[in-house]
Amino acid sequence: MAAKHFFDSVYLTRFSQPKCDRVLYRFVKKHRVSNLIEIGISDLQRSLRMIRLAGYATRGETEVRYTGIDLFEARSNDQCAMTLKETHRSFTQSGATVRLIPGDPVASICRSANHLSGSELLIISSIVDQDLGAAWYYLPRMLSSNAVVFLESIDAGSGRSRFQMISADEVNRRAEVAERSEKRAA
């Protein structure tokens, strides 16, 4: 079984398509990520692959936890339809502890941040078409000390996705800006 996991890991980190996802797979494998949060599930297959790779990387020593925050049934018509029930059914065989949080990303983060602490990887999908604004204030409390945030963007010219790593300093800076905005609004 170990050989199968090895070849699957090599395939995911070196040859899988789309190519932009490989940076996420490599990060999960290298850092043995066991606690992931995805804001906006743009690719269910990618999410399942990350969970599978996290299971290989942790060698069953740590429980893999995945949290997906998405609009699900409330998605706009230009996004692929994904119901909460179908998504949950897809994740049940992954072997991970999966938590799906339906609703507006900002409201969901504000409501659930205290329950999502210790996350090692946070992915903000390109399908989150709104500015996270006030939600940035809550992100630092969700993240572990060595956590990394990846922000997905779509290249206007080619239409291809790419992931940009956001440093902890940048996350904290955005959190401070969100906090100041909230104080001014009050």
Alpha-carbon gap, residue 78 to 154, rounded angstroms: 15
pLDDT digits (tens, 9 = 90+) for 145-182: 889 999 999 888 888 899 999 988 899 999 999 888 77
The first and second tokens of residue 171, run together, are 């996350």
Asked whether the predicted pLDDT for residue 130 surpasses 70, the reply is no
In the chain, the percentage of residues whose pLDDT exceeds 70 is: 96
Q: Which domains does the chain have, with CATH numbers?
A: 2-185 (3.40.50.150)
Q: What's CA 130's distance to the chain center, in Å? A: 16
Please report which helix (H) or strand (E) contains residue 144, including its range. Answer: strand 143-154
Alpha-carbon gap, residue 173 to 169, rounded angstroms: 6
pTM of the full predicted structure? 0.91
Asked whether the predicted pLDDT for residue 139 surpasses 70, the reply is yes
pLDDT digits (tens, 9 = 90+) for 40-77: 998 999 999 999 999 998 887 889 999 999 999 887 77
Q: Please name every residue paired with 143 in a beta bridge, in sequence order, or none if there are none.
A: 119
